[in-house]
A and B are shown apart, each in its own frame.
Chain A
């Protein structure tokens, strides 16, 4: 059974701080990893994709992948109250299905 695990949170950080979100996965065959943001009652919105070991940066977001440890993380720098949402980690196989974690709820307080 392929699983993606996340701490459900909430993770509370002050405005301007770095938020660190983590995810582990069970299937070594997973090739692609994604972070989606989901506001309450809304659909998942793609934030980052990462396919190879190392870091990938996009604006305030940095995704990190360590395939040996089966670990994916998302760092959000200069966190804003508007970043408050649930962050979903997902693993996939090219254009195949995505396996989602339960999501980590992030709260950024002013």
Chain B
């Protein structure tokens, strides 16, 4: 069964450094999302992306965050200058039109 793949599975970064999280959505999906889950808390929406532009973003998704689809398969989340509070699991998801979202295994981001 096709699946969303995310790399790396664990990223350790110094505070203030830039980090890029990578995702390969399911191949025939056109809608892409990033969510995050701080340890012990709920899954929170960050951003949705369709047709090469952001559809919606949450208050969490400030100017330090950006997303990009650099080619036909990858979807990336960049955090420009990481903060301690960015430590979380980051999940990429994708969906076909009017279909449920499927999640990748996540990237655990640890900011030191």
Residues of A at the B interface (CB closer than 8 Å) are: 32, 34, 36, 42-46, 49, 88, 90, 92, 94-103
Which one, B43, B58, B102, contacts A88 given CB within 8 A? B43
Identify A97's interface contact among B58, B91, B99, B103, CB under 8 A: B58
Q: Could you mark each residue 42-79 of chain B with 1 if its beta carbon is under 8 Å from any beta carbon of chain A, else 0? A: 11110010100001101000000000000000000000
Cβ of A99 and Cβ of B45 under 8 Å apart? yes
For this complex, 10 residue pairs linking A to B, each with C-beta atoms less than 8 Å apart, are A43-B91, A44-B91, A44-B103, A46-B103, A49-B100, A88-B42, A97-B45, A97-B48, A98-B33, A102-B42
Give the docked Cα–Cα distance between A43 and B93 (Å).
10
Pairwise interchain contact A95-B42, C-beta atoms closer than 8 A? no
How many interface residues does B have (CB within 8 Å)?
26
Q: How far is the CA of A42 from the CA of B56 in the complex (A)?
A: 25
Query: B105 to chain A: which residues have CB within 8 Å?
Result: 42-43
Chain A residue nearest to B96 (CB atoms) is A95
Interface positions of B from 78 to 107, Cβ below 8 Å from A: 89, 91, 95, 97-106
Measured in the bound complex, the distance between the Cα atoms of B98 and A96 in whole Å is 9
A88 to B100 CA separation, bound complex (whole angstroms): 14
Minimal beta-carbon separation of A4 from chain B (angstroms): 9
Assembled-state Cα–Cα distance A90/B103 (Å) = 13
- Report yes or no: A46 in contact with B42, Cβ–Cβ below 8 A: no
* In the complex, chain A residues whose CB is within 8 Å of the CB of B33: 97-98
